[in-house]
Every structure is written in structure tokens, then in C-alpha cells.
Amino acid sequence: QVQLVESGGGLVQDGGSLRLSCAASGSIISFKDMGWYRQAPGKQRELVTTITRGGSTNYADSVKGRFTISRDIAKNTVYLQMNSLKPEDTAVYYCHANSWTYNYWGQGTQVTVSS
């Protein structure tokens, strides 16, 4: 059973930065892809960014140029660097891993951006 543990959320002012981490209990290159989703109050969970096994990345239009996904294969950890944060980025951020046959989710970490 794969476990994903997020950390790094918190409260930040408009324009600030945060870095989220997602530590996996297994090898991250065994997954088809990993990524970050977010869910704001009263809204559906939405894709933020993904990184494939081969290292290709994809971003939602709303975060392009501000957020960067990266990984440390040796540490089995995926990161989300968030810059120029806006109040509309406020949400619970979830780490996700796709193993071809199963989708794994972390417990989520709260990010709150104050105006």
C-alpha cells in the first residue's frame, strides 16, 4: 500500500510563496505520473499540475508561470513551488500518484492566501 504524505502548507500573504512536499512510501518513478490537485470550499477538486514518469510536466492555465512541480527521485519526493500566490489559490492541496491500476491520494494540506 502506497502512502503519500504532504507537508508545507500554511498561511501566506497575497504575492507570497510556499513550497509543498509530497513524500511517497515507494519509488516515485514506478508511477505513471504524479501531481497536485486542489479543492477550494464549495468547489470540485481540480488539477493543478502533473509530472510524468519521464519528467514531462503539465500545468493548469491558472497557475502557469507561477507554480513549478519538481521531484527528487532519490528522496521519493515531489515538490510544488508556488510563487506569486493569490487569494484564489486558497484550497486544500492533495498529492496524487497514478500507478496505472490505482490512484493514490495524500491526506491534503491547507494553503490559505490572505489579501
Predicted confidence band at 1 (pLDDT cuts at 50, 70, 90)? confident
89-97 average pLDDT score: 98
Q: Residue 42, Cα to own-chain centre: how many angstroms?
A: 20
Give the pLDDT band (50/70/90) at residue 55. Answer: very high
